[in-house]
Amino acid sequence: MLYDRFIVALDPPRGAGVGWALRVASALCGFAWGFKLGLPFLAGFGVEGFRLVRRACPGASIVADLKLADIGFSMRLTVERVGPYVDAVIAHSFVGVEGGLGELAEWARESGVRLALVYTMSHGGSAEVLAPCRGRLAEVIRRVRPWGVVAPATRPGEVEEARRLFPWARILSPGVGAQGARPGSALCAGADYEIVGRSVAHSPRPLEALLEAAREASRCHPR
Amino acid sequence: MLYDRFIVALDPPRGAGVGWALRVASALCGFAWGFKLGLPFLAGFGVEGFRLVRRACPGASIVADLKLADIGFSMRLTVERVGPYVDAVIAHSFVGVEGGLGELAEWARESGVRLALVYTMSHGGSAEVLAPCRGRLAEVIRRVRPWGVVAPATRPGEVEEARRLFPWARILSPGVGAQGARPGSALCAGADYEIVGRSVAHSPRPLEALLEAAREASRCHPR
């Protein structure tokens, strides 16, 4: 079963408290490879929320998906706050290296936190700027050589491309479930992990939903 | 005096509590046009920090510079949390309209919060991807037609370009002070507001530092 190839995004539904996130994390603990905590989570529950999820399931990898896209100084100030509670942070490759990702990568090395960079995204708008500019994005990713690269399950061709261009990297693929990609779409195309959100985390029975997704993905034989 | 053309970024120095931000905001209240609260601020002080700054200086415009760069669903979940305490939010144009900024712009209209989109940035890395792709970024900005556009004081040529391309928009220019641009660089080039951070907010005498920057900028006669 491939449930350990899934990362579950804990984007809180409207009105949910941190207890919601802790219940979902506990239900999936020992199954999901990790949890993705994004800006909606940070805005809702603060850095303290990160600490609580870490404590609710210490074995899971915690990915801070803050979609960092700022100058190096500001990105560092941000990640220093969540660093103690996370295994990886996601930033956008389009901010470039000089005075930007260079400083963030240095912080990641010093602090032992893994860095993942976005190549392209899962929504329609990704085709407007990111996709046509991805030659330059790939150049930034090659220079930074991050632990992970984010490419969308909704476009398996871009996952295959990322797999080929960045052979050293873990490929993380969002867009599974509510955003339209079938579980396994990205794993079949060479991704290492699929990121699933609402269809598991907002389900009344998150573990059953995760196992069902893993069953569907088991048609693939990922590396 | 042009002090009311300055937005002061309240990025907390290491170890600072929310009291630091409130002291700076109070000292500049009635002078600075507004305050920019970014991800370091959110990570440090939460949504409650936004509420406290609003209360410390109700007349100032509060700009949530979360550098939003995600799918529409996630951006909305985030801004709904800070919306009650801010006048404007900043997002990245490169995420595109479909399933991205389109949804955010709709939320902005419904909630009465102004939207500002990043054109190019103030650090060196902006020249690696953003600047060469800015024809596509301009197209996104024209489609969304946001209240504001962000262009860097460190590159007055890009401010002039933004002024020409987006005549309806307020131009907000970061990069003044610690990042290298001289106060007035952007106002002289057609910007409406200059964003200054460390050189004012981390100064032992923030108001004197702001007034000094305003004096230096007074060589320009902005529109």
Q: A192 to chain B nearest CA, in Å? A: 21
| E strand or H helix that includes residue B35 | strand B34-38
Q: From the centroid of its chain, how far is CA B157?
A: 19
pLDDT score for A35: 98
- Selection from A13, A9, A104, A117 nearest residue A61 by Cα: A9
User: Over 70: is that where the pLDDT of A36 sits?
Assistant: yes
- Please, what is the average pLDDT of chain A? 96
Tell me which chain B residues have a C-beta less than 8 angstroms from the C-beta of A94.
92, 94, 129-130, 133
Q: Quick check: A70 and B69 CB within 8 A?
A: no
Tell me which chain A residues have a C-beta less than 8 angstroms from the C-beta of B51.
none
- Which of helix, strand or coil describes residue B144? helix
Q: Quick check: A81 and B179 CB within 8 A?
A: no
According to DSSP, the residues that pair with B63 across neighbouring strands are B36, B88
Structure-block tokens of residue B204: 């032992």
Interface test with A, best of B119, B123, B154 (most A CBs within 10 A): B123
Tell me which chain A residues have a C-beta less than 8 angstroms from the C-beta of B100.
121, 123-126
Q: A147 to chain B nearest CA, in Å? A: 20
pLDDT score for B223: 64
What is the distance between the alpha carbons of residues B67 and B145, in angstroms, rounded to a whole number?
17
What is the distance between the alpha carbons of residues B43 and A128, in angstroms, rounded to a whole number?
30
> Residue written as tokens 């964003």?
B195
How does DSSP classify residue B65?
A: E
Tell me which chain A residues have a C-beta less than 8 angstroms from the C-beta of B132.
133, 136
Query: CA distances (Å), A181 to each of A96, A105, A196, A201, B147, in order?
Result: 29, 31, 9, 16, 34
Q: B60 to chain A nearest CA, in Å? A: 22
Query: CA distances (Å), B25 to each of A181, B34, B198, in order?
Result: 46, 9, 13
Beta-carbon contacts of A90 under 8 Å, excluding residues fewer than 6 positions away, are A63, A64, A65, A66, A67, A68, A116, A117, A118, A148, A150, A172
Tell me which chain B residues have a C-beta less than 8 angstroms from the C-beta of A142.
none
CB-based contact A41:A12 (threshold 8 Å): yes
CB-based contact A43:B81 (threshold 8 Å): yes
Q: Quick check: B77 and A121 CB within 8 A?
A: no
| Closest alpha carbon within chain B to A72 | B123
Q: Quick check: A125 and B95 CB within 8 A?
A: yes
A170-213 residue pLDDT tens? 999 999 988 889 999 999 999 999 999 999 999 999 999 999 99
Of these residues, A20, A47, A51, A67, which one is catalytic? A67
pLDDT score for B160: 98
To 5 degrees, how large is the angle CA B71–CA B73–CA B77? 120
pLDDT score for A139: 98
Q: A133 to chain B nearest CA, in Å? A: 7
**Among partner residues B12, B73, B128, which is closest to A96 by beta-carbon distance?**
B128
- Selection from B121, B103, B119, B122 nearest residue B111 by Cα: B103
**Among partner residues B82, B94, B125, which is closest to A43 by beta-carbon distance?**
B82
pLDDT score for A179: 84
User: Over 70: is that where the pLDDT of A223 sits?
Assistant: no
The yes-or-no answer on residue A36 being catalytic is no
B64-104 residue pLDDT tens? 999 999 999 999 999 999 999 999 999 999 999 999 999 99
Averaged pLDDT, A130-152: 97
| Closest alpha carbon within chain A to B135 | A129
> What confidence tier does A220 reach under pLDDT thresholds 50, 70, 90?
confident
pLDDT score for B14: 87
pLDDT score for A1: 77
According to DSSP, the residues that pair with A65 across neighbouring strands are A38
Q: B177 to chain A nearest CA, in Å? A: 14
Q: Quick check: B136 and A123 CB within 8 A?
A: no
DSSP class per residue in A41-103: HHHHHHHHHHHHHHHH-TTSEEEEEEEE-S-HHHHHHHHHHHGGG-SEEEEEGGG-IIIIIHH
Beta carbon pairs, A and B, within 8 Å: 178
Q: Comparing A132 with B219, which gets the higher pLDDT?
A: A132
Q: Quick check: A78 and B130 CB within 8 A?
A: no
> Residue written as tokens 């500019």?
A133
Which segments in chain B show pLDDT lower than 50?
A: none
